[in-house]
Amino acid sequence: MTDELEKFIRKLFASIVVFNGFEDIVTEKIVVKVMMERLSDLLSETATDYEAMVYLHTASLAAPLSEEWQNIYAYLFSKYHPREARKIGVYRDELTEAERRKLLNLKKWIYKRQMSLKR
């Protein structure tokens, strides 16, 4: 098997990274959505936006998010659940440059964790 193919398979089946202690929050529905998102973005060396949203969701259960992380979470939630985001008044369709950088760094960190974890 080629290195590239191995990398794709490893990314596709990598663990879903959540905040420590919240592993049981990952439902079958979340697993399916993560797999679909990963399939559409196999070339990227970052986690998907959906995976970042799942991580932030679990982190928010452990401690309140800062305003910047709240904005990022609201943006991601709005991307995947726009109707619900509007209904509860958290809809956001853009990020500041600083928030975009933080999101990218989070996605890189999640990806590195995924690639280092054994399944």
Q: Kindly report, residue by residue over 95-115, the tens digit of the pLDDT.
A: 999 999 999 999 999 999 999
- Give domain status of residue 2, yes or no: no
Count of domains observed in the chain = 1
Q: Domain span at residue 15? A: 7-116
Q: Kindly report, residue by residue over 71-92, the tens digit of the pLDDT.
A: 999 999 999 999 999 999 999 9
- Give domain status of residue 101, yes or no: yes
pTM metric for this prediction: 0.93
- Give domain status of residue 73, yes or no: yes
Q: List Cβ<8 Å contacts ≥24 apart for 48-52.
A: 48/107, 49/76, 49/79, 49/80, 49/103, 49/107, 50/76, 50/80, 51/16, 51/17, 51/107, 51/110, 52/76, 52/103, 52/106, 52/107, 52/110
- Give domain status of residue 97, yes or no: yes
- Give domain status of residue 38, yes or no: yes
The pLDDT of residue 49 is: 98
- Give domain status of residue 94, yes or no: yes
- Give domain status of residue 1, yes or no: no
The pLDDT of residue 118 is: 61
- Give domain status of residue 74, yes or no: yes
- Tokens 């399939």 -> residue: 39
Give the integer Cα–Cα distance in Å for 108 and 78. Answer: 21
Give the integer Cα–Cα distance in Å for 96 and 76. Answer: 13
